[in-house]
Structure 1
Amino acid sequence: MLQTSPLAQIMAPDALPLGLGCSRLGSVNGASGDEARALLHAALARGVRFFDTSNIYAQGDSERLLAEVLGKRDDCVICSKAGKYLDWKKQALVPLKGLLRNVARRSKQASRGVAAARAKPMPTRWDGPFLSSSIDGSLRRLKRERIEMFMLHSPSADVVARGEAVAALEAAQQAGKIGLIGVSVDDVATAEAALGDPRVQALQLPLLPGETEFDSVTQRAADAGVAVIAREILGGAQAISGAMDPARYAADRIAEMVRDPRVALPLVGTTRMVNLQASADAAEVATKA
């Protein structure tokens, strides 16, 4: 069962306590077309009802795929984000995505090049008009009148503390365009700034295995009734492949997060069906233990 939090109040009571990270759905190096649709249908069949995306994931195709598969069903929570945007160079490559995908799948060097480009920092804007326009764009791509949770996408502590960006989300919330207001953070200082704003109802935190830097803010968030969404819980492909038993490592870590009373929901980002099914198995076992 989901822990008591604002998220628990809007989730379906029979939802699996696991969210699907959709950053690579529709991307050049990720799952596209029928493969992506099959993954989403499988997630739904296993009880996954939380889907994490962003306006910039796969140049908007992640949101479009979610719209195609989820439709108007009201038992799912979509969490999208804004604040980052594509520079002109990346925008120019959007029409070439199909060609780039074919090349990347045939060449490891090309695939690594795409991954390196994807990892570079993106430009950001946090002013009200830009964020409002970004929310409207996400609504169009998701084909929804309301997005259940919306977050600032990796702002700095100063951006959150100034309050203008959160105010833009508050205005969208009052207009009925979004539900819960959240902040996806990369560092403790930003998490603390977000917890200092009573309008923030959810935090997405990178809770990597073995790291404790977010322990205090995770507990403070839970105590304040702020939903904690845990991401990067497996530590990435290198951590998984370096484990003596990768499958056991992943299952144990997912179970640990599901059972953590401070965490409203853990996310698993995958485009592989076998990994999705194993993650769902681990979450189910954790709820019954």
Structure 2
Amino acid sequence: MTIAPSPTETAAPATATTTAAGSEASGTTTPTAAETLLAGHRVPRVGLGAARLTAGDGWGVPADPEVPRALLRAALDAGIRYVDTADALGPGVSEGIIGDVVGNRDDILVSTKVGMLRPAQDRWGILGQPDYLRHAVHASLHRLQRERIDLLFLHRIDPEVPLADQLGALAELRDQGKIGHIGLSEPTLEQLDAALAIEPIAAVQSLYNVAARQNAPIIERLGERAIPFIAYWPLIGRGLPADTHDRVFAALDPAARAHQTSVQSIALAWIFHTVPDGLAVVGSRNPAHLRDNLEATAITLSAEEVTGISAAVTEALDGFVFHPRHSPHSTSRA
């Protein structure tokens, strides 16, 4: 087992030259699609991240489980068709809530992750032993009340276990019909390339937003292979010092005003323009916010606007490295 104080790689500063999708290099205006294909399902490009179905932000049993159940029902009513979770959230709590509400419905795409341990709220470990991964998948199936997990992410790659053994265990479960597709969460570029040489990878989920663009090389590689990228922590604000927060929001405000929308909607639209066919998983306890997030797919930014937003946010960050889990004010959400 590898002990990990945080489940995310060290971040790099945002730069103004992100061209993961080529959007900023083009002089044209490119409308974004409201839906995309993920693991054989056509879904809206905004999915629900399930950390807030727990008592806190990814930890603990809620005092009244009916509250997160109602939130999940409201999200589905708002148009959410993709729900993303992990066995480490709770641990196991969000999967249980999803199982209660979604169950074995085939019109809702459900993804979860295995391969990380959560012995305490702020302690994480990586365990990729094949027997453990098999056990974890069966436990997730039970909590989710599903016959098959549509998309199963290896939460982190265990450096102490051969990658072929980790992916081999998941491929075995896929061949048995227990999971539909295999994904990776937060791989390095080298790990991604190694995985692609072993098994088909259906999707990658990693940190990405207008203030955290260190995964642009991974997005570029995925684009070459037509593999979907899913951004977690796509919205900005939490994890930023107060003065940096104010500068970043001020940098996005002109675009928000021009499109008569919110700063957060512009942040989502920026992702959809820099990652063609990419998705974003958002977490909220407010169904109205989820509806606003879904509507962000309809915002069309010009190439000049995308470039301008990138440059303005880079200037606003003033060298600050956006990394939510390294902020004293944040807890884990992936």
Identity in percent? 27
Deviations 1:18-63 (CA, angstroms, capped at 9, x unpaired) = 1110023123457652321222112111221111101121121101
The corresponding residue for 1:98 is none
The corresponding residue for 1:26 is 54
The corresponding residue for 1:82 is 114
The corresponding residue for 1:202 is 203
1:80-229 matches, within 5 Å, as 80-87=112-119, 90=120, 118=121, 120-156=122-158, 158=159, 162-185=163-186, 187-229=188-230
Report the residue type matching 2:40 in the other structure.
I
1:257-276 matches, within 5 Å, as 257-276=271-290
Q: Which has the higher helix share?
A: 1
Stretches of structure 1 that go unaligned for 5 or more consecutive residues are 91-117
Aligned CA distance change for structure 1 residues 187 and 2 (closer, same or farther; 3 Å): farther
SS in 2 for 1:58: coil
Stretches of structure 2 that go unaligned for 5 or more consecutive residues are 1-32, 303-334
- Find the aligned partners of 1:38 and 1:193 in 2 and give their Cα distance: 41
Structure ranking higher on relative contact order (CA contacts 8 Å, 6+ apart): 2
1:246-285 matches, within 5 Å, as 248-283=262-297, 285=298
Q: TM-score, normalised by structure 2?
A: 0.67
- Find the aligned partners of 1:224 and 1:2 in 2 and give their Cα distance: 21
Deviating 4+ runs (over 3 angstroms):
1-5, 28-32, 158-161, 186-198, 238-242, 244-247, 259-263, 286-289
- Find the aligned partners of 2:284 and 2:161 in 1 and give their Cα distance: 29
Q: CA RMSD in A?
A: 2.8
Aligned CA distance change for structure 1 residues 71 and 198 (closer, same or farther; 3 Å): closer
**Structure 2 residue 56 is matched with structure 1 residue 17:** no
Q: Is the 8 A contact 1:39 1:272 kept in 2?
A: yes
- Find the aligned partners of 2:87 and 2:67 in 1 and give their Cα distance: 21
- Find the aligned partners of 1:178 and 1:82 in 2 and give their Cα distance: 12
- Find the aligned partners of 2:300 and 2:144 in 1 and give their Cα distance: 31
Deviations 1:224-269 (CA, angstroms, capped at 9, x unpaired) = 1222111122245144953235972210011222344534311112
SS in 1 for 2:90: helix
Deviations 1:136-170 (CA, angstroms, capped at 9, x unpaired) = 000000011100000111225x4686321111110
Of 253-262 and 135-144, the range deviating more from structure 2: 253-262
